[in-house]
Structure 1
Amino acid sequence: MAEGITNTSIDPLWYKDAIIYELHVKTFCDSDGDGMGDFRGLMEKLDYLQELGVTAIWLLPFYPSPMRDDGYDIADYFDVNPNFGTLDDFRAFLDAAHERNLRVITELVINHTSDQNQWFQKSRRAVAKYGLVGAGANRGREQMAGVGDPGYSDDNLAYKDFYVWSDTPEKYKDARIIFKDFETSNWAWDPVAKAYYWHRFYSHQPDLNFDNPAVHDAVKKVCDFWLSMGVDGLRLDAVPYLYEREDTNCENLPETHKFLQELRAHVDAKFPNRMLLAEANQWPEDAAAYFGKGDESHMSFHFPLMPRMFMSLQMEDRFPIIDIMEQTPPIPENCHWAMFLRNHDELTLEMVTDEERDYMYRVYATDPH
């Protein structure tokens, strides 16, 4: 079914009028009474979702994970968390969804992994054994081992440069700390590697090194695994942060857009009519850049619009919505904004002015209940 023509694989622009329902498998429907949702339970509710008018289901991460960041800390990209079921359960769910003309969007968390991922475990052991300097392409003053270089009979060495390692935490000082309430630096010391690794989010989520071509290959293999199974779309989590460069804020860099063009070309060539959705929590001009010339993501979330819809409701005034839409640039014809009122990133209040943030706190955060 994954490779054939189905009702859910005909329209190449299906995402333009999609009604997307986000859900977490673990909290949606429990089929076996263990207190946790699973894919078999979700299958039981597909008729209900169809009756709501939903046309696509967006699944939060369901992969094996320590669950320290609700599954966005992935330990294995090629399997299902056993608490939610098995790969066969996922395949059965996917087929059942497609039989109802429901598309399925899953998460492609490519900026970082869990520190429990075998890629990271092998990388830290390789750095401990071989040090930070390898052979191959330059990365600043350090060098990366290439996949074809001598020494790759050592399985750990193949992953040495999968992550961003350093002997100092003083690099990339202009990058903001995203989770200021939990982290004091974007660098963390690893006692095994005896080196620092880069993380834009939690310290248990080391960032992948996109200056390493082997990481590109690994990401494409993850894409191929799920898309060949029949998945219709991939949400690209935390996509603005893939690269690091000195004297920049390490966000929205040209190298990131070049990689997205590479990924889009790969997906279009192998899996027609699929969709890439960029999670770029940025101002409209920067977020629109993730469409490229129609050759990067098919969709991108419009984060700045979401809090302003809440503002307009409270103010009983359309101005906040009109104002942000006027700041939104035109986009390629084959692309579309993902507008939302609620998802798991609701009301983060990052893409608002200080004045707007103060207003939202004042009107929505004063009720003790």
Structure 2
Amino acid sequence: MPPPAPRPAAPLDACAPALASAPAHRRELFEARVERWWPDLYDGLDGVYPDPFGTASRVIAAAARAFVEREDDLHRLDLRRSLEPDWFQRPTMLGYAAYADRFAGDLAGVAARAPYLAELGVTYLHLMPLLEPREGPNDGGYAVADYRTVRADLGTMADLRDLARTLRGHGISVCLDLVLNHVADQHEWAVRARRGEQRYRDYFYVFPDRETPDRYEENLPEVFPDFAPGSFTWDDDLDGWVWTTFNAYQWDVAWSNPDVFCEYVDIVLDLANEGVEVFRLDAIAFLWKRMGTACQNQPEVHALTQAMRAVAKMACPAVLFKAEAIVGPQDLVHYLGKGRHHAKVSDLAYHNGLMVQLWSMFASRDVRLATAALRQLPAIPASTSWVTYARCHDDIGWAIDDGDARAVGLDGHAHRSFLSDFYSGAFPGSFARGLVFQHNEQTGDRRISGSLASLAGLECGDPHAVDRILLAHALTLGWGGLPVLWMGDELGLTNDPGWDHDPAHADDNRWAHRPRMPWPPHDETGVHAGLRNLVQARRALPHLHASVGAQPLDPSDSGVLLVLRDHPLGPMLGAYNVTEHHRPLPAYRLADLGLDPAACVDHIRRARLTVGDDGAIWLPPYAALWVTGDEHA
């Protein structure tokens, strides 16, 4: 156990001037929050920075300033969220992710489409990068030049504030990307570093020659081997090599400098006061650099996220942190908190493994690898939640663990190669129409771009495509946690055939699965109606609360994934047929869980199960069942 943190008397004294204009009850509330979250803040900084007490005092003063400036409506939201801390874990939650311009033109357009989202059941809207990026190439907006300015073509910060207010009125929370690992080379910090200001040069990792970069690169993987090989870029104005993990124009910031931590705390607080409720912590795994490692998943990352979250809880406790960490299962759980950081780091994390295994099952028509791999995930804190999804804005990297593959008799490299062949359409009989993204000649890895509908076979007219799409939605909605739809997946939008017509996107085929939203929305496939049915069924099932873990069970049939959710109200069994054939679910599997098969209800079809003379419930091709005892119908 860490030693107890010193009392925060001095930090409270330091923030007194900022609180002087606040009513007495507000001052008392803020001071109570500081007392509550001070241990988490200090513990996160202690051992990371040489003066944890001084750094903590600085950010508490910033929190006091933001707390006083926070609108009354947001203070009321803080109160409601404090009384309902599980608000984001409930089965009534449904996420939606989109680029604002591709969804509705600009922020005002998004606000006008709020009723569409609310009717679909959306309660959480993730708008992809909308803060001011650098001019020229900008990694899809992830090369941020100004964290406090909205892209001019989308609107202004006042428009963002108005949008957040409109969405709150419809019960929808705004999620925004916060790029933590790097800034654009046109950001003020980089500009001032180039001018020779030592304070800002110290915000980056700059080396006079290749000796140290070469030592680091012995262990650093390349993120974009086609676009940006290597992890360092020479800059004439700096007269040195600057760390650039992703692209030459994205400079990694030095989180080893406490000034950088304080800068990002200020940014979080300011954006929270604009109405942002969830921060997607982009590229969080890369924050801390350590020689001899891949410079990912270092323990300081979790400590500093805990400290930043503690400051947010003082000023704006309605805010959530979502870790964008696409890492292995044993590393991933740390982003939600493990050991001394248990339940103190991020509130949400992406379940990348579920997405990967979903597509693996569709290609192989076999659930055994998915069952083995998904079982390897450690339990997460009961106060946190997975974000589940079938597709997102990014490519799919085949994160198939070699050990998991060996456990079911597969070769990991060969299976990853098969998946790339299958989803690029190169494998004989494939129904998918994806595109190869970032072929790494050294490792053979080939990531895949493509929309949910195109990867599921709708583009080529496969007769089972709609069933596959709905099964993908059923699995992500039925896993528990916070499911997020990628824009257009509710309509079965296929790849954009003109994705490369824009010169800015011509060399990045991920834009194939980022088509523009058609207005009015039109769907002749039945995907929208089927999804609405799933969303409504999910909302009525307390078993899908995120605090209840999903437990993959040994399959009775290699084509049917079985997932148990052992809720205090009773068990719920999810059954998912990943093949184009009828497959059996033996009735005894329900009896083994303490359920009476003859009295069980499938909540997707809102009907009792039918047990055949052979003692099995037969699942049609690509069908899903959400089964409980009838007392929970």
Q: Please, which of 347, 351, 357 is the counterpart of residue 298 of structure 1?
A: 347
Secondary structure of the corresponding residue to residue 236 of structure 1: strand
1:218-252 CA-partner distances (Å, limit 9, x unpaired): 00011001112221110000111001111111111
- Which range moved further: 242-251 or 341-350? 341-350
Of residues 190, 195, 202 in structure 2, which corresponds to 1:161? 202
Amino acid at match of 2:248: S
**Quick one: which of 286, 293, 313 aligns to 1:248?**
293
With over 3 angstroms needed to count, the CA separation of the structure-2 counterparts of 1:61 and 1:2, relative to structure 1, is farther
The whole-number CA distance in structure 2 between the counterparts of 1:23 and 1:8 is 27
The residue type equivalent to 1:110 in the other structure is L
User: How far has the Cα of 1:271 moved from its partner?
Assistant: 1.5
Q: Secondary structure at the match of 1:206?
A: strand
**Is residue 2:209 matched to residue 1:172?**
no
Matched residue, 1:356: 415
Q: Pick which of 158-167 and 347-356 moved more.
A: 347-356
What is the one-letter code of the residue matched to 2:126? W
Q: Which runs of 5+ in 2 are unaligned?
A: 1-71, 402-411, 427-432, 434-459, 461-633
Query: Does the 8 Å contact 1:113/1:206 carry over to 2?
Result: yes
Q: Distance in 1 between matches of 2:142 and 2:279?
A: 14
> Bigger CA drift: 347-356 or 242-251?
347-356
Q: Does 1:212 align with 2:253?
A: no
Residues in 2 aligned to 1:51 and 1:157: alpha-carbon distance in whole angstroms: 53
Aligned positions of 1:42-53 closer than 5 A: 42-53=110-121
Measure, in 1, the Cα distance between the counterparts of 2:177 and 2:141.
Answer: 10
Question: What TM-score, normalized to structure 2?
Answer: 0.51
Q: Spell out, residue by residue over 1:56-85, the C-alpha distance to the aligned partner (whole angstroms, 9 max, x if none).
A: 000111011135211100000001111101
CA contact (8 A) 2:106 2:154 kept: yes
Match of 1:332 in 2: 381
- Indicate conservation of the 8 Å contact 2:181/2:284, yes or no: yes
Specify the SS of the correspondent of 1:77.
strand
SS in 2 for 1:79: strand
Partners of 2:98 and 2:126 within 8 A in 1: yes
Distance 1:268 1:317 in 2: 44
Q: In 2, are the aligned partners of 1:2 and 1:230 still within 8 Å (CA)? A: no
Find the aligned partners of 1:313 and 1:14 in 2 and give their Cα distance.
Answer: 33
CA offsets, 1:124-175, max 9 Å, x none?
A: 222xxxxxxxxxxxxxxxxxxxxxxxxxxxxx33312111111123241211
Distance 1:187 1:4 in 2: 44
Number of residue pairs the alignment of both structures matches:
333
Higher helix share: 2
- The answer to which of 228-237 and 95-104 deviates more is 228-237
The residue number in structure 2 matching 1:11 is 84
Q: What percent of counterpart residues are identical?
A: 28
Shift of 1:346: 4.2
| Secondary structure class of the residue paired with 2:147 | coil
TM (norm. structure 1) is: 0.86
* Secondary structure class of the residue paired with 1:258: helix
Contact 1:306 1:346 in 2 (8 A): no
Instruction: Name which of 64, 70, 73 aligns with 2:143.
Output: 73
Report which of the two has the higher share of strand. Answer: 2
- Bigger drift between 42-51 and 313-322 goes to 313-322
Render the CA deviation track for 1:242-274: whole Å, top value 9, x for unaligned: 011111111111111111111121112222132
What amino acid maps onto 2:223 in structure 1? I
| Structure 1 position 354, deviation (Å) | 2.0
Pair 1:64 & 2:64 matched: no
State the secondary structure of the residue aligned to 1:27.
Answer: helix
The yes-or-no answer on 1:99 pairing with 2:169 is: yes
- State which of 388, 394, 402 in structure 2 corresponds to 1:345: 394
Structure 1 residues 202-224: Cα deviation after superposition (integer angstroms, max 9, x where no partner): 11101000011000000001100
Q: 2:101 aligns with which of 26, 30, 33?
A: 26
In 2, Cα distance between equivalents of 1:330 and 1:208: 32
How far the C-alpha of 1:300 sits from its partner, in A, is 0.8
What secondary structure is seen at the aligned counterpart in 1 of 2:333?
helix
Q: 1:15 to 1:268 in 2, by over 3 A?
A: same
Counterpart residue number, 1:32: none
Shift of 1:2: 4.5
Secondary structure at the residue paired with 2:131?
coil
Judging changes above 3 Å, is the alpha-carbon distance between structure 1 residues 211 and 54 closer, same or farther for their aligned structure 2 residues? Answer: same
Q: CA deviation at 1:8?
A: 7.1
CA distances 1:313-342 after superposition (whole Å, capped 9, x unpaired): 233333233222111001111111111111
Does structure 1 conserve the Cα–Cα contact (< 8 Å) formed by 2:329 and 2:377? yes
Give SS of 2:177's match: strand
Change (3 A) 1:101 1:321: same
SS at match of 1:106: strand
Q: CA separation in 2, counterparts of 1:259 and 1:355?
A: 39
Runs of 4+ in 1 over 4 A off after TM superposition: none
Query: Would the aligned equivalents of 1:208 and 1:215 in 2 still touch at CA under 8 Å?
Result: yes
Deviations 1:70-125 (A, max 9, x none): 11000000011111011111111110000001011111101001111111111122
CA shift, 1:44, in A, is 1.1
Worse overlay, 77-86 or 259-268: 259-268
Ranges in structure 1 where 5+ consecutive residues have no aligned partner = 30-36, 127-155
Aligned AA (1:243): W
Structure 2 residue aligned with 1:115, among 172, 176, 185?
185
Instruction: Report the Cα distance in structure 2 between the residues aligned to 1:351 and 1:60, rounded to whole angstroms.
Output: 27
Please say if residues 100 and 130 of structure 2, whose CA atoms lie closer than 8 Å, have aligned partners that are also in contact: yes
> Residue 5 of structure 1: SS of its match in structure 2?
helix
- Aligned twin of 2:279: 234
Residue of structure 1 in register with 2:327 after alignment:
282
Q: Which moved more, 1:4-13 or 1:108-117?
A: 4-13
How far does residue 349 in structure 1 lie from its aligned partner after superposition?
2.3
The worse-fitting range, judged by mean Cα deviation, of 318-327 and 337-346 is 318-327
2:172 maps to 1:85: no
